Amino acid sequence: MLQFAGKSKKFKPTPPQVLTFGFIIIIFVGTILLASGPANTGDPMSYVDALFMATSAACVTGLTTINVGIDLTHFGQVVLLLLVQIGGLGFTTMASLIAIVLRRRISFRERLILQEAMNQSTLEGIVPLIKKVIYYSLVIEGCGALLFSARFLAEMPVGQALYFGLFHSVSIFNNAGFDLFGMFPDRASSLIHYVEDPLINIVSMLLIILGGLGFIVISDLITYRINRKLTLHSKVVLTASAVLIVVGTIVILIFEYTNPNTMGPLDFLHKLSSAMLQSVSSRSAGVSTLDTGSLRQATQFMIVLLMFVGAAPGSTGGGIKVTTLAVLVGAIYTMARGRQDVVMFRNRLDQDRIHKAITLTLLSFFLIVIATMVLSATESAPFLSILFEVTSAFATTGMSAGLSGHLTTFGKLFIVLLMFVGRLGPVTLAFALTSTPEKEKFRHPEGRITIG
């Protein structure tokens, strides 16, 4: 079609804008459904609470202002679970699945959007990766559902056990952390009732770790037997994740070992398993076998640090990502040694990666600081509880020190914004809100300032 001079150009959203608008539409639809009568056991929840829950589910956070097991009907719970699944895999992945089933060709522009959604640096192999994402997710969630259901059969009817198994497998693998155990009046929320159950603990940790490693790493691990090779990305993710799990477990075990409200009554093995699950879950999942509100302040602050780091890129988790932390540590080590290049596993990192890691970390840090200051002025709660809730929302972890249910309307809407920004990422959102940058036509002269 011919375009005449003076005519306005047709608006073509950039990939970051497509992702942003897509999540907004999903959250809007989820809000309408969750606020409807069929989704609630009693009076329909307010639109503010429905928006909070829809955002928490679509952004795979897990924070909640209601009791999911009591206040939502089966229809409402299924809506919540579908939002978790779409949010965990990404709506672009789900749209690609439909296109693949209908045998429709995925265009170059759609591949660019998928590249942005999966946080990939190139378009190479993006469609095969999407197919692997869908396949691996269904297989892992299916195995988790079967194992959970087998355990729940000992205390529930067959239908309920299967339903609980599927719900919690999808919720935990996608690092959302919603649970239905609040429907039992004699039990606490999350997995506290199963603190001494080895099957629930092990399966939960495996689901969280697999969901948090990212599909690129899972694919690398599966094909390792054939090619005997891991990418640099997989090596960094696996190493950084292992270090964080071990360090987190040791610190939490030390601080909570004698706490009578958490680990005190447990034997050593159960203390160790609960500390490990808490360490694994703190980086994005949000489930726990310990009462988060009863943890000592030192432990809560350690969890804040773990939440801030989060999971791996291309995973269902949030945070600044373990690779970002690894790059920052590598840059500090390089500068301390007086060297120029950041080297990991005999590979030199591009300066662009280092600049992006620093930018992302500082943007995230400043956002959390500002949000904590704002909510400290509007909410009646201790500073650490507010910092905990803010970091949990931004990192899409879903762990709560008990503040979510007592937030003001402004506080709820502010947490909704944090969850949304945290799921998209501050850098992606910044690109979505700005026009396409023009290439610089000149460079300024180099200047020097004193650092340190």
- Domain ranges in the chain are 15-429
Residue 284, phi then psi, degrees to nearest 5: 175, -25
Q: Which residue positions in the chain have pLDDT lower than 50?
A: 1-8, 102
- Predicted local confidence at residue 1, as pLDDT: 39
- Predicted local confidence at residue 5, as pLDDT: 46
What are 119-135's pLDDT values in tens digits? 555 555 566 667 777 88
What are 343-391's pLDDT values in tens digits? 888 888 888 888 888 988 999 999 999 999 999 999 988 999 999 999 9
Assigned token pair, 69: 């097991």
- Predicted local confidence at residue 247, as pLDDT: 96
- Measure the CA–CA gap between 319 and 60, rounded to whole angstroms: 12
The pTM of the full predicted model, rounded to 2 decimals, is 0.86
- Measure the CA–CA gap between 66 and 419, rounded to whole angstroms: 17
Question: Where does residue 171 rank: exposed (0-12), middle (13-18), buried (19+ CB within 10 A)?
Answer: buried
- Predicted local confidence at residue 438, as pLDDT: 58
72: β partners:
40
